[in-house]
Amino acid sequence: MQLQEHFNLKDLNTFGIEAKAKYFAEIREKKDLRDLISSGILTSESWLILGEGSNILFRGDYDGLILKTRLSGMTTEKCSEDQILVTAAAGESWHGLVMRCMDHNWGGIENLALIPGTVGAAPVQNIGAYGRELSEVLEYVDVIDLETGDEDRLDQKVCAFGYRDSLFKQPKGKKFFISSVTLRLTTKNHLINTSYGAISTVLMGQGVEQPTLQDVGRAVISIRKEKLPDPQKIGNAGSFFKNPVVDAALIESIQNQYSTLPFYKTENQQFKIPAAWLIETAGWKGKRLGNTGVHEKQALVLVNYGGATGEEILNLSQQIMDDVKTKFGVQLQREVQIAEGKSPK
């Protein structure tokens, strides 16, 4: 394994931000990590694990070591008459895995098609879309403790999943390098989920009444292609903000002014509001500010029209957060991870 210096990260983040890392290492096998641990660099430098860079904003140069996960491979184990355990290494493409599972007729992740990023990044933010979250099918995550080099297997409960949240975002979980992810998928009697509005509309439009998991996957792909900008063409990191969860009193006070407010009931008498609605209603959808802007088809997505700095995108996000707070009394939170160049430990 080679440690590179002043490494250009532009092609390794989907925002396409120009940023350099002080040090950069590609992890192709577990031994690469053990070598780094014994070299002491993980205690002397800040470090950051990078997948496909599709949920990160580099604020500037990264003053530390970037660990780029390149672990590859996939194995399976039949676990019952109608279920299979599928293990994929952290460096595999998430969408590639979804496509392979769809080809084999293994069900459970077809609603999560076309989400950019690696397999290893998927549990970190508990990826979710179109009525399904990764946590619903995740069996366990294999990790390497970057402090000790020890390997461990963390089952679903230990991963403490929440909405775009997990153990791996908490201070005590930051020391884990995810090496592989194991999913429990169905081989028959699939739990087809078309509950999320747009899916059933697309399927109905195609005259599909009894959708297969492949039908659902294809519908999700077409919806995402229609709404979300392709990072290859225009820099972005998907949803920049989380959908805020608020209480009934706040819903009522917003409704007094905006009777069309959409919201969904969650647990403990709380309500989730689409951040995209707040941003759009505040007048930001399609707005451009220098090299940055709010996507014209999905107000949750901030874009780099070319040449934007991380700081510019962060400023735009702050302006949106301040405006939404003033207009609706709702505090938005960023979903995208901001890389400051400081220790993530």
We find the least distance from the C-beta atom of residue 240 to ligand EPU, in angstroms, to be 8
We find the least distance from the C-beta atom of residue 3 to ligand EPU, in angstroms, to be 32
We find the least distance from the C-beta atom of residue 168 to ligand EPU, in angstroms, to be 16
For ligand EPU, the nearest residue by Cβ is 238
Binding positions for ligand EPU, rule: CB under 6 A: 129-130, 196, 238-239, 242-243, 262, 274, 276-277, 280, 285, 298-300, 335
Sign of CA dihedral 266, 267, 271, 273: negative
CB 247 within 8 A of CB 268: no
We find the least distance from the C-beta atom of residue 274 to ligand EPU, in angstroms, to be 3
Cβ proximity to ligand EPU: between 85 and 221 the closer is 221
> Beta strand 270-272 with 264-265: parallel, antiparallel or unpaired?
antiparallel
Cβ proximity to ligand EPU: between 7 and 241 the closer is 241
CB 318 within 8 A of CB 248: no
Cβ proximity to ligand EPU: between 180 and 239 the closer is 239
Cβ proximity to ligand EPU: between 196 and 271 the closer is 196
Report how far residue 237's alpha carbon sits from residue 337's, in angstroms, rounded to the nearest whole number: 10
CB 117 within 8 A of CB 54: yes
**Residue numbers annotated as active site:** 164, 239, 335
Question: For residue 277, is it left (φ>0), alpha (ψ between -120 and 50) or beta?
Answer: alpha
Report how far residue 133's alpha carbon sits from residue 178's, in angstroms, rounded to the nearest whole number: 18
Instruction: Give 14's DSSP letter.
Output: T
